[in-house]
């Protein structure tokens, strides 16, 4: 298995699979008559027409749904095929699925920023359009396409535009978008740091987070309706929709403009500076100043200080952060490629991935505590926290600095070059060289 990874550059591809790829190039196309009948039966539709082929393809790509795209390993055709034929019950051949996959594979790599506000936006359509003839040539027919004019997304955009006009009208009123009752509810939730789970700022962050099914999506941007449903449903803050729309101005602005600055935490200076301009707009819209983020004494700041102290101690210890027992456990997990699920590198990647509830978040960056809990809990590697903190140096660095370089796979040269400097630092901290990625 390892030899296969070395030869094929981390793509586990058998001879039979290569034959399938060659078959796609035949005149008859990669989709048989039966495949075509199934896809035509599913039919076209807008991104909100859940049972249409375009919506199913989008669902099977989305990272928060456990789809085929990952911030860390890029797009995976096998996962896409399993989703289509399994979760979504579209029983087509793998060769046909591989043809369809050309679209989301191209889109997730090249069009994320253009498609953040919706799949039917002109910029998104322009970016993804070149793949249509390629998919048709591969499949041997034109699969049902995205219909934007009549899609629910377009209808929702019209509703959103009306709501925005209403918001603007509400801003001009002295009472604002939040009634006295709304204000009492929000003041009851109160201020707090990002780790004060029941505070208003933490609730708003939770209801935005893609891995929680929140209002922000890498593919469709920020959705006020989803934000409102989360606040009033999952989080039981029974405020009006007009008030929710005022609060939404913050995470809407932050998710569009401040992701990179806030990747290391909501209380970081760069994040605070980026998100600050939306505060007076929220207050103006709401008619009062909602409870705000408290950073000075937050648990996030305390944990950052604790982690800094732990790291200094670990690096200075000659024995390293990983005991003999820790080393035996990690060596037992062993080296491997990103698809060798039980290898240490794959476990570390899994425990970082946001769609798995891992340690990295687009909004709060990398969290060592979450990483430790995943490694020792879900993945049952019973190592010490000091050892886990040494391992965490890799994904912490990678998630902050190498996402774009690693989007196409952990074994890509650009990714390897970006993450390589952490190898000696991890070894120095741990007191030995943990099993590494085999590409």
DSSP 212: G
In order along its 439 residues, the chain shows pLDDT tens digits of 333 222 223 333 344 444 444 443 343 589 999 999 999 999 999 877 889 999 999 889 887 677 888 766 778 899 999 999 999 999 999 999 999 999 999 988 888 777 876 788 888 899 999 999 999 999 999 999 988 864 333 334 444 444 444 444 444 343 589 999 999 999 999 999 877 889 999 999 889 887 677 888 766 678 899 999 999 999 999 999 999 999 999 999 988 888 777 776 788 888 889 999 999 999 999 999 999 998 864 333 333 444 444 444 444 344 589 999 999 999 999 999 877 889 999 999 889 887 777 888 766 678 899 999 999 999 999 999 999 999 999 999 988 888 778 877 788 888 889 999 999 999 999 999 999 998 8
DSSP 143: -
For residues 434 and 422, give the distance between their C-alpha atoms in angstroms, rounded to a whole number: 12
User: What integer pLDDT is reported at residue 151 of this predicted model?
Assistant: 38
Q: How many CB atoms lie within 10 A of CB 167?
A: 17
- Shortest CA distance to 288 belongs to which of 403, 173, 402, 197? 173
- Shortest CA distance to 286 belongs to which of 156, 159, 214, 187? 187
SS (HEC) of 347-403 = HHHHCCCHHHCCCEECCCEECHHHHHHHHHHHCCCCCCHHHHHHHHHHHHHHHHHCH
DSSP 64: G
Q: How many CB atoms lie within 10 A of CB 208?
A: 24
**52: number of CA atoms within 13 Å, CB side?**
19
- C-alpha separations of 345 from 93, 232, 339, 341 in Å: 31, 40, 9, 9
For residues 307 and 33, give the distance between their C-alpha atoms in angstroms, rounded to a whole number: 59
User: What integer pLDDT is reported at residue 169 of this predicted model?
Assistant: 42
For residues 286 and 178, give the distance between their C-alpha atoms in angstroms, rounded to a whole number: 5
Three-state SS at 44: coil
Parse the chain into domains and list their residue ranges. Answer: 15-139, 152-286, 317-430
Consecutive H or E run containing 221? strand 221-222
Q: How many CB atoms lie within 10 A of CB 33?
A: 11
């Amino acid at each position: 298995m390892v030899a296969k990874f070395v030869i094929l550059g981390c793509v586990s591809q058998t001879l039979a699979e290569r034959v399938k790829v060659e078959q796609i190039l035949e005149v008859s196309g990669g989709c048989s008559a039966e495949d075509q009948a199934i896809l035509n039966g599913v039919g076209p539709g807008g991104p909100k027409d859940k049972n249409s082929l375009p919506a199913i393809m989008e669902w099977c790509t989305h990272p928060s749904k456990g789809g085929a795209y990952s911030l860390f390993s890029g797009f995976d055709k096998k996962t896409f095929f399993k989703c289509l034929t399994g979760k979504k019950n579209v029983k087509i051949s793998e060769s046909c699925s591989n043809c369809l996959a050309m679209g989301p594979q191209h889109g997730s790599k090249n069009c994320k920023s253009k498609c953040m506000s919706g799949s039917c936006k002109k910029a998104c359509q322009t970016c993804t359009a070149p793949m249509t003839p390629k998919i048709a040539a591969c499949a041997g027919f034109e699969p049902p396409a995205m219909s934007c004019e009549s899609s629910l997304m377009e209808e929702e955009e019209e509703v959103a535009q009306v709501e925005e006009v209403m918001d603007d009208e509400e801003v001009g009123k002295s009472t604002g978008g939040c009634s006295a009752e709304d204000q009492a509810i929000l003041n009851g939730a109160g201020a707090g740091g990002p780790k004060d789970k029941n505070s208003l700022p933490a609730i708003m962050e939770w209801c935005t987070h893609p891995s929680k099914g929140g209002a922000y999506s890498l593919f469709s941007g920020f959705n006020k309706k989803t934000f409102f449903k989360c606040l009033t449903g999952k989080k039981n803050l029974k405020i009006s929709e007009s008030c929710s729309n005022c609060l939404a101005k913050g995470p809407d602005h932050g998710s569009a403009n401040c992701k990179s600055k806030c990747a290391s935490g909501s209380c970081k200076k760069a994040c605070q500076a980026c998100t600050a301009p939306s505060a007076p707009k929220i207050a103006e819209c709401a008619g009062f100043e909602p409870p705000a983020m408290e950073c000075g004494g937050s648990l996030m700041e305390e944990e950052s200080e604790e982690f800094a102290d732990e790291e200094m101690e670990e690096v200075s210890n000659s024995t390293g952060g990983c005991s003999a027992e820790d080393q035996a456990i990690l060596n037992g997990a062993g080296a491997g490629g990103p698809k060798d699920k039980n290898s240490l590198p794959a476990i570390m990647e899994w425990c970082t991935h946001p769609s798995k509830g891992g340690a990295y978040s687009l909004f709060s960056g990398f969290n060592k505590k979450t990483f430790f809990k995943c490694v020792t809990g879900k993945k049952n590697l019973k190592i010490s926290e000091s050892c886990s903190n040494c391992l965490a140096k890799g994904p912490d660095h990678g998630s902050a600095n190498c996402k774009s370089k690693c989007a196409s796979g952990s074994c890509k040269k650009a990714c390897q070059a970006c993450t390589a400097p952490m190898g000696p630092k991890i070894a120095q901290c741990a007191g030995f060289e943990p099993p590494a990625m085999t590409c």
